[in-house]
Structure 1
Amino acid sequence: MSETATTHPSLDELRAEAIEWARKPRSRGSWYVTEHMVRAMRAYGWTIVVGALGQPIMYLLGLAVGLAALIDAPIVAHGVEVDYLTFVAPALLVTAAIAVASEEMTYPVMAGFKWRRYFYGFNASPLSSPQIANGVILGATARMLVAIGAYYLFIWIFGAVDDPATGWLSILAGLGAGVAFGIPLMAYAGSIEDDKGQFALVQRFLFMPMFLFSGTFYPLETLPVWLQWIGWVSPLWHGAELGRVATYGTDVAPVMMGVHIAYLVVLSLVGYLWGRRVFIERLAK
């Protein structure tokens, strides 16, 4: 009776197999990066808490007790009359999400590539470049959710939500607008080699005009046509319009609803493809 010879892999084969296994991205790699980003926020956790709670209180008190008290006439938007606070509240909720995105998608991203370089440490482990980009997005989204969740609670307390059954959908509208603004900003931040004040320019010449001229404080159609384009290209306006449908049922045609949603989705997708490429190319250096 002949015995069958058993062959054992050589040491080189075992080493090559181990290296190949180590190079494979972990199946939940994006969530590991997300966990790191969320844990890192503990370093400025009080800032997050104060911003998430203090900002809506200050804005809403200023509008409910101050500015809204001076505006007796209702705001008419899309044929629906509402008081000033009810009109402004959804836009402020969306603004809160975009403000968080402008913080989390700028300096922390540049720190990961240039100053602290922890993205390279992630990439040296079984984490792929796209997974790192995904984790950054998910971490920022988690903070957005906290901020706009607190904002929604306060606008509900102040009576700015006419229909609570659908009003909570304004949280999704704010999240969509924040992501649509934040992901392209992340891609831009990842492409910057040296900090020369680019983020300050983004705040002054992108965020601020968007905040002022996107129908936040008055209907967009009241602006001159040559200024309305700022709202048309702004994720803030698209998110605010969706939020107003959710909170008080403003009359927006189904076609325009589709346009608002599609614009936010397309902007997020284009930004993600750009950001994914930036992460892959830069981490390959």
Structure 2
Amino acid sequence: MRAAILQMTGGVDPAANADILTAAVQAAAADGATMLFTPEMSNLIDRDRERAARAIAPEYADPVLAEVRSAARAAGLWVHLGSLAVRRADGRLANRAFVIDATGTIVARYDKLHLFDVDLPSGETWRESAAYAAGDCARVVATPVGALGLSICYDLRFAALYAALSDAGARVLAIPAAFTQPTGVAHWEVLLRARAIESAAWVIAAAQTGCHADGRTTYGHSIVVDPWGDVILDMGTVPGLDFFEIDDARTTDVRARIPVLAHRRAIPPVER
């Protein structure tokens, strides 16, 4: 199954980001892809919370989501929007992933479970929970590339989520991100390969890259990893669109060779 992955340098203007996304939908479909994967925060990258708040809308009114749904319908393409910043009914914000089918219908949503609250040695401080509310459920959805387990960025560090997703039938794991430069250099590839290996599943990780208008720098290196842990695509740091093939037979073969899912056991209480 042919799929496409978008690496982008998102900015503070949702309309400009929408133009990038809709162009990617059209290009992906024209080159024979069945599904497109985009990064975390595809509609808005802005660490100025006051300015960002003015641009973040409820899901039903988000113009970027509306444009991508329309483009998907016109192109006949499935889209995994890695995430959008949206406003919840209670006024809090959500970092929310969407799976959109080839008719433009939203078939799945997922709100990021693990929020990025850290102080990095580089001096960067992030408090995602100051504005965003964490999700309360995990999600697996049927797609043309296979049963897709949804996650977002910092979720990557929590292996139990991916065990739950693969136990629930996921054969492909989506891990869109806007990874920081220092954490990306240290941990990005090794964690993605680990999640693929321990779940014997494909990993598709569309990423933000480069220097953004709000002053942050993201790591890039959108990656696709096969169920054996081999990196079959690494986009480096240049924004753009690339393509890859998902072979479900590879998943079946790896799971037969090392049946990690069948061998999983509930962990007993830890004695101290």
Considering Cα pairs closer than 8 Å and 6+ residues apart, tell me whether 1 or 2 has the greater RCO. 1
Structure in which a larger fraction of residues adopt helix: 1
Q: Could you state the TM-score of these two structures normalised by the residue count of structure 2?
A: 0.30
> Radius of gyration: which is bigger?
1
